[in-house]
Amino acid sequence: MGIRQFLDIGTGLPTADNTHEIAQRVAPEARIVYVDNDPLVLAHARVLLTSTPEGVTDYLDADLHDTDAILRDAARTLDFDRPVALILSGILGHLADYEEARAIVKRLVDALPSGSHLVVCDGTDTDETLNEAQEHHNEGGASMYHLRSPEQIAGFFDGLELLEPGVTPCSRWRPETSTTGVLTEAHAYSGVGRKP
Ligand SMILES: C[S@@+](CC[C@H](N)C(=O)[O-])C[C@H]1O[C@@H](n2cnc3c(N)ncnc32)[C@H](O)[C@@H]1O
């Protein structure tokens, strides 16, 4: 059986096809915990709490640095004896220190049982124009983002078995060309790793 539990940290504002909507379309019994530290996301969290009757969704107002609190409170909804998909999409770049980001990912993955999966999607430093724009943005000091190399993104999966096609530009990770049309090169990379 596939993964039925999801821990989505750095949820962002609700949009079309939120994690629980996609997961519960496939498996109505799926259980999802969303985590974000932005009061604006909290204000819109009710949109994320529209679970199927068979499943559950919960929202935690918590900071990624506080892995103990996240794991403790997520355990109200998720069974950490069964595999969990940990989703870190567009959040790790908010951590300035790469080694700190790796340590946080490791703490979270260490708490998950074998068969769990890590999903990472993050901006990369693979385009000079984007790098300059990001630098300019970061000079403003608000909501800074740190673009990393594809190798650094791959480093988050140390100790895990990478699923095919590995760590690739997001637009090339198993694209459904029927819905996305022509592929463009994304300067964000993603990967999925399985905990042995
Ligand atoms: C760029 S959005 C990503 C949204 C969505 N996951 C996606 O991939 O489209 C990043 C989110 O991470 C949240 N975030 C940033 N730093 C965080 C932290 N230290 N703890 C919890 N959430 C954080 C922000 O509030 C924001 O909602």
pLDDT tens for each residue of 126-169: 999 999 999 999 998 888 999 999 999 999 999 999 999 999 99
32-82: pLDDT as tens digits: 999 999 999 999 999 999 999 999 999 999 999 999 999 999 999 999 999
Q: For the chain, which residues make up each domain, given as ranges?
A: 5-194
The residue among 63, 59, 37, 40 whose CA lies nearest residue 48 is 59
Q: Are 126 and 187 in contact (CB under 8 A)?
A: yes
Tell me the CA–centroid distance for residue 194 and ligand 1, in Å. 23
pLDDT for the residue numbered 58: 97
CB of 90 sitting under 6 A from ligand 1: yes
Sign of CA dihedral 69, 79, 108, 123: negative
Pocket test for ligand 1, best of 21, 22, 34, 91 (most atoms within 8 A of CB): 91
Residues 6+ apart with CB under 8 A from 169: 124, 126, 185, 186, 187, 188, 189, 190
Which residues, including other chains, have CB under 8 Å from residue 140's CB and lie 6 or more apart?
A: none
Sign of CA dihedral 6, 72, 93, 156: negative
By CB neighbour count within 10 A (0-12 exposed, 13-18 middle, 19+ buried), where does 106 fall?
middle
Q: Determine if ligand 1 sits within 6 Å of the CB of residue 91.
A: yes
Q: What is the CATH number of domain 5-194?
A: 3.40.50.150
Distance 181 CA to ligand 1 centre (A): 27
What does the alpha-carbon distance between residue 140 and residue 136 come to, in Å, rounded to a whole number? 7
Q: Please state the rounded mean pLDDT for residues 92-109.
A: 98
Question: Tens of pLDDT along 3-20?
Answer: 999 999 999 999 999 999
Residue having the nearest C-alpha atom to atom 12 of ligand 1: 10
Judge if the beta carbon of residue 44 lies within 6 A of ligand 1: no
pTM higher than 0.75 for the full model? yes
